[in-house]
Amino acid sequence: MTKTQFVLKKATPDTLPALQRFLTDMKLPVSDLPGDLSGFTLAFDGDELVGTAGMELLGSIGLLRSVAVAETHRSKQLGRQLFAAALDHARAHGVQEVFLITNTADAYFEKNGFQRVERSEAPVEIAGTAQFAGLCPASAVVMKRVIA
């Protein structure tokens, strides 16, 4: 059995169209993607984009976003690699707490050290994001992990 080799690359403005297509296919928001994409890591299987994870920096707080793996590439630890790259980016920039907003993956993130928090407990930096304010439904789960 051949083991699939993934290549992780930092996203650049040139990769924005492919990232937008991938996230749209995964039913994730794209309208608020940051222009420079500096906190995003992309996973490629050859030339095919098969996974993403992004860390939006908001001072000493990070917003983990756009964590997705193509259905054909799940159960291969790719999500874990992308998630780790996003946390490494956060740590390298002095982030102490990471938040996320999810409709479907709360159980996955609980297994990876995140805890549910009430929406009312989200710091102003998170509450002011487009994801919190309207892109994600009010029923979405808000989660937090301390990484410092």
Q: Does the structure show a pLDDT above 70 at 130?
A: yes
Q: Record the pTM.
A: 0.89
pLDDT above 90: percentage of residues in the chain? 56
- pLDDT at position 32 is 87
**138 has pLDDT over 80:** no
pLDDT at residue 54 in the model: 95
d(CA 147, CA 66): 19
Pick the CATH number of 7-146 from 3.40.640.10, 2.50.20.10, 3.40.630.30, 1.10.3720.10: 3.40.630.30
Rounded Cα–Cα distance for residues 120 and 89 (Å): 27
Please check the confidence at residue 93 and state whether its pLDDT lies above 50. yes
Residue from 42, 129, 73 nearest 17 by CA:
42
